[in-house]
A and B are shown apart, each in its own frame.
Chain A
Amino acid sequence: MLLQQVAATTGHPLSGTVADWMWLLPLLPLLGFVLNGLLAVVSVYRRGPADPAAESGHGHGAGHEAVHADPAHAGAHGTHHHVPPRHKFAGLASIIGPAVLFAAFGLAVSIFGAMSGASHLEQPYVQRYFTWMPVGDFRIEAAFQLDQLSMIMVLVITGVGALIHLFSVGYMRDDPGYPRFFAYLNLFVFFMLVLVLGASYPVMFVGWEGVGLCSYLLIGFWFSDKANADAGKKAFIVNRIGDFGFLVAMFLLYANIAALDFVGVSQRAGELAPAIVTAICLFFFLGCAGKSAQIPLYVWLPDAMAGPTPVSALIHAATMVTAGVYLIARSAVLFALSPVASLTVAVVGALTALLAATIGLKQWDIKRVLAYSTVSQLGYMFVGVGVGAYAAGIFHLVTHAFFKALLFLGSGSVIFALHRAYHATHSRADAQDMRNMGGLRRYLPWTFALMWIATLAISGIPPLSGFFSKDEILAGVFARAGHSTLAEATWLGIPGGPLLYAIYGIGLFTALLTAIYMTRMMLYTFHGPNRTGETERSHLAEAPWVMTLPLVVLGILSAIGGWLNIPEIMGFLGPPQWLHHWLDPVVGAPTLAVTGGEAVHLAHRTEYFLIGGAVAIAVVGILFAVVRLKPARLVTKDQAVPERGFARVLANKWYVDEAYDRTIVRPVVGVSRRLLWTVTDKWLIDGLLVNGSARVTSFFGRLGSYLQTGSVSTYAWAIVLGVLVVLGAFTLR
């Protein structure tokens, strides 16, 4: 059906090229979802005596990483000496799952080739399939749009996604829900591609909601543990708040300019009143704050680490959480019109980056460190798109996808090794706590080397990718603090210029913290003496090649990813500003609008100075961590004493979850229980409306059957009465 209805946009340079096949991009993972889903359904998983989950109440296999608080767990390990059987269709699922992703990536690369070869790509290539919602003369088309921005996103999603799928083949190997896992993962990629390819806000929203659903399903993948299911629910509910913002923004767009497709919105954005634009942008940003874990809605992301580690890498680091950044870049036309909304994005991004980095300093769970690091880096990206450096924000999105996916997969590799070791000795120690690690460089040399690359990249050490993208953002902020529409605006009474300098300062300080907490994580995990345990030590080993190979590829990408967008002053390294020029047709005009019509230019001396400062700060951070932290003094988790003072506040994440619980969750639950449930639902709706109306109706029913005496004379009189009424109605008037 799709094939026939593809209406090629005649005259577009991409029509007639391989880009006509872009509808196949999301369809491939959807096909994978259907096939894997069938595999998962036909072999409905039944708990039997051979299944360890029957006793432990946990998922099994490599991902057995939830906090081992369940006392029954030891029994499970103690009584059963067996290798868990692989899933019946594991072989088929491990082919289908990654294969559709690699095929999609191959297609994406060839489309990219076609785009690179074509000229005059100022307009996006829109394919309309069918009219989704005709409302009067307003129509919402089910249409995909290919332009430079969505191309970059598609490459990241399918490329990094394919690597993570490959990693999962090893990581999830022994899980009883193996095909189900790949079904969800494929479905996620489908929705993510719909999100970035959608040609209008409603189509994008379909993807937006779909990835939320898949995130929920995958966070709670091991749903038999209540904590995991709760984490899934938390993510879902927090995201609802953000989605409300997205919806309101769409309603405002429709009400004011009656356009929801990106082309239409960019054409008519100028008709919007300034206050309306600001409202639309702020509501969109509320959606971003939910999906991309920004203040105040970031709390779900650290909990989302309850999902399997490949999920954390794909959804909660590389792709889905960056959807908010994509949304703002996509809506750059609108944000450029509203300095207030842009400043809000930048301020919230900066504060989130700082807050999350401070929390990351004191976490012990390796995945939680990375989770807070992700929140912090997302904050950077929002600073970038907030100050109107849209290309810089997308640049950091891409490099972050590389090094953060690598960090997560590396941590997965570590957890995999520790879990296997603990499994072999039936220990129930925590396989994710860094206090149980240490000295792993001797056992996991590949993971060790590759994770150091990623750590240096995220810290901003040249010439690794993170250095270029972070520098681009910071330089962008600095330049706009001097001269831009943002600097001239005021935000809550604060003049924009000083505010931007403050954001720059926060960014630098966060870079310092980033270097410290990342080095801390590496030191505690890979250096110093090993704390895993005497008997377990002999079981520590590198994971199989399906898991190491993606790490290597991501390591290379993390190292050289910066070449996508080399600063002008480093032109000796290669062609400068490639990504910037590539994205120019999409975000070029809004960028210029923010900077007041002329390209930003810092004096070369200033720029060298900024770069030097940033690198110095990263080096200082790493050295500080190396000098101050003593991995040798660490004790294992069960012997550790709780932190005191400020460290305790950080370890407890500034008590934000507790504060939310007191101020929002409990009052809402209280009101719901006392007023909404007892009074409204039970008494008013159930009692008065539902049962009440039923009672009134059946009263009349009983009255009616009471008149039904069974006597013919009654019936005859009823007819006569009816005759009189009818005749009266006909003749009297």
Chain B
Amino acid sequence: MRFDLDRPLELTFALAPDLLLIAGTMVLLLASAWGTETAKRQRAVGRWSIALCVLTLAAVIYMWWAGHTATRGAIAVDPFRWATDVLILLGAILAIALSMDYLERERIDVAEAHVLILFAVSGMMLLAAARDLMIVFLGIELMSIAVYVLAGLNRRSGRAAEAALKYFLLGAFSSGFLLYGIALVFGATGSTNIADIGAAILERGLTTNAMLLAGVGLLVVGLGFKVAAAPFHMWTPDVYEGAPTPMTAFMAAAVKAAAFAVFLRIWMEAFPYLNGAWHKPLWYLAVFTMVVGNVVALVQKNIKRMLAYSSIAHAGYLLVAVVVSNFEGASAYLFYVFAYTLATMGAFAVVIALAQTGERGQQIEDYAGLWRVRPGLAAAMAVFMLALLGFPIFGGMGFFAKWYVLQAALRPPSQTNLAIWVVGTSLVSAAYYLYVVMVMFMKARPAEAPSPLKVPGMTRFVIATCAIVLLVVGIWPRPVLRVARRSLPQLVHLSEDLPRAPAPPR
């Protein structure tokens, strides 16, 4: 059906999965506050959190399947939102599964960890739905505050505390820019609704309006911080390294996915007519991010820092989808984030499995000769590294993910130079991804190296699932690609009696 968002009941229906998740999270928050902190309770809350996520996932898929639409309003009801929700919930389920084992090993018996993940997911789902800049801000803050706490979850670790504080301070700083940007855009167009902004820019010919342009620039800064685009990336390595590893994985996968979803939606719906103004700056932002992420990753010795820089590099590749801002970009984004979520989650899961208690044993050199002692883990890690690299067959989906981003960039008006940067920086990335593979398979294991701990069940499940799905979809990408091609944002203001954008979607 077509929801009339002005009527409260229909608005409630349009937000049903989000409301379901938030209500369930409240209940779990109370449940986790009940009684004493024990590992058993932590696991129980974790299981319930996963169940809640699965339930929400079912609701999302039902909404998707039902094919609802909505009138112009504060939230979007379209396949793009549901696809993004699925990716976010997938990341959340994997992260909760990993943190259940991790928290037990590190003796952090705080059941609230899972609840905080759920709160962050609520914020992310709000971001995926947002069609109003106020909702965007609400979603970002809801997500961010939960993630700040998650980063500092381990109260006994100085590094975690430092990470949380840095993230919080810089996050607050960048939120200021975001809010200011929203204010300036509102001032120039008289609306915070994304669709209305797009229409206003066209109707009133605001393409050279300085206030609007400054607002757009500040939005780039605020969103760029959340997706860790260079030069707003500097918090990333410190926070990713210091935070508990499952939370790092969650940040690297789900936070990035949500922030990019809203980035894409704003750019495709609100600013298509400003193309001339933002194209160059975003182009340079994408290239700079790719270069910085890949080049600095080269010299990292710690695997979590290396993966942090790798995630910056991937933000650069995803920015390419924003730069092209067309339907190919949107579907390439969805496919890419699916592959990236699986590969990143898998890689961090291996890091968790191999770390000794207290987050030791995370230097890349500690993985020397892993093939000899843990062939399964080494093979899975190789798949994740090759997937992040975009290697065919053995990297599974990773190859197609990069391939579709390149195709989106080469769709007319063709961005050949941007595609060359993607390929060139991917070449650099081969050096550090393959280095991990080389260390695992070709270096001898030192005699004094401690033997890895037994891998707990949930972690093993996450690693196996990620590797298998990557490989299977890598051989048979068509169904996933078909879903990604169909899950596009519905540009309401375009469907309603307005001329098409200057860079018309196909």
A721 at the binding interface (Cβ < 8 Å): yes
A700 at the binding interface (Cβ < 8 Å): yes
A714 to B281, CA, bound (A): 23
B206-229 interface code vs A (CB 8 A; 1 in, 0 out): 000010011011101100110000
A700 to B174, CA, bound (A): 27
Residues of A close to B277: CB separation below 8 A: 730
Q: Do A726 and B221 have beta carbons less than 8 Å apart?
A: yes
A700-733 contacts to B (CB < 8 Å): 700-702, 704-705, 707-708, 710, 712, 714-716, 718-719, 721-723, 725-727, 729-731
A723 to B235, CA, bound (A): 16
Q: Do A701 and B299 have beta carbons less than 8 Å apart?
A: yes
Q: Do B216 and A715 have beta carbons less than 8 Å apart?
A: no
A671-704 contacts to B (CB < 8 Å): 694, 697-698, 700-702, 704
Residues of B close to A725: CB separation below 8 A: 231
Set B231, B235, B281: member contacting A729, Cβ < 8 A: B281
Residues of A close to B221: CB separation below 8 A: 719, 722-723, 726
Least Cβ–Cβ distance between A733 and chain B, in angstroms: 8
Least Cβ–Cβ distance between A512 and chain B, in angstroms: 62
A17 to B221, CA, bound (A): 74
Q: Do A729 and B169 have beta carbons less than 8 Å apart?
A: no
Q: Do A701 and B298 have beta carbons less than 8 Å apart?
A: yes
Q: Which of B224, B278, B297, B299 has the most CB of A within 10 A?
A: B299
| CB nearest to A725 among chain B residues | B231
Least Cβ–Cβ distance between A200 and chain B, in angstroms: 29
A730 to B221, CA, bound (A): 12
A701 to B298, CA, bound (A): 6
Set A698, A702, A714: member contacting B234, Cβ < 8 A: A714
Q: Do A716 and B298 have beta carbons less than 8 Å apart?
A: no
Least Cβ–Cβ distance between B109 and chain A, in angstroms: 30
A103 to B319, CA, bound (A): 61
Set A702, A716, A723, A731: member contacting B213, Cβ < 8 A: A731
Set A698, A712, A714, A718: member contacting B299, Cβ < 8 A: A698
A731 to B300, CA, bound (A): 37
Assuming the A-B contacts A701-B297, A708-B237, A719-B225, are A730 and B166 also in contact, with contact meaning beta carbons closer than 8 angstroms in the complex? Answer: no
Pick 10 A–B contacts, CB within 8 A, sort by A.
A697-B295, A705-B299, A708-B296, A712-B166, A712-B170, A719-B174, A719-B232, A719-B234, A731-B214, A731-B217
| CB nearest to B217 among chain A residues | A730
Residues of A close to B285: CB separation below 8 A: 726
Q: Do B234 and A715 have beta carbons less than 8 Å apart?
A: yes
Q: Which residues of B contact A (CB under 8 A)?
A: 165-166, 169-170, 173-174, 177, 210, 213-214, 216-218, 220-221, 224-225, 231-232, 234-235, 237-238, 277-278, 280-281, 284-285, 292, 295-300, 428, 431
Residues of A close to B173: CB separation below 8 A: 716, 719
Assuming the A-B contacts A714-B234, A719-B232, A731-B210, are A694 and B281 also in contact, with contact meaning beta carbons closer than 8 angstroms in the complex? Answer: no
A157-169 interface code vs B (CB 8 A; 1 in, 0 out): 0000000000000
Assuming the A-B contacts A710-B238, A730-B213, are A723 and B177 also in contact, with contact meaning beta carbons closer than 8 angstroms in the complex? Answer: yes
| Main SS at interface, chain A | helix
Least Cβ–Cβ distance between A373 and chain B, in angstroms: 50
Assuming the A-B contacts A721-B231, A730-B278, A730-B281, are A697 and B169 also in contact, with contact meaning beta carbons closer than 8 angstroms in the complex? Answer: no
Q: Do B231 and A719 have beta carbons less than 8 Å apart?
A: yes
Sample of 13 further A-B pairs with CB below 8 A, known A707-B234, A722-B221: A697-B431, A710-B238, A712-B169, A715-B166, A715-B170, A715-B234, A719-B225, A723-B221, A725-B231, A726-B224, A729-B217, A730-B220, A730-B281
A242-298 contacts to B (CB < 8 Å): none
Q: Do A723 and B218 have beta carbons less than 8 Å apart?
A: yes
Residues of A close to B218: CB separation below 8 A: 723, 726-727
A700 to B296, CA, bound (A): 7
Assuming the A-B contacts A719-B232, A730-B278, are A705 and B217 also in contact, with contact meaning beta carbons closer than 8 angstroms in the complex? Answer: no
Residues of A close to B165: CB separation below 8 A: 712
Residues of A close to B235: CB separation below 8 A: 715
Set B170, B295, B428, B431: member contacting A704, Cβ < 8 A: B295
A716 to B213, CA, bound (A): 23
Residues of B close to A730: CB separation below 8 A: 213-214, 216-217, 220, 277-278, 281
Set B214, B225, B238, B297: member contacting A727, Cβ < 8 A: B214
Least Cβ–Cβ distance between A719 and chain B, in angstroms: 6
Q: Do A726 and B296 have beta carbons less than 8 Å apart?
A: no
Q: Do A708 and B295 have beta carbons less than 8 Å apart?
A: no
A715 to B236, CA, bound (A): 10
A701 to B295, CA, bound (A): 5
Q: Which of A701, A726, A727 has the most CB of B within 10 A?
A: A726
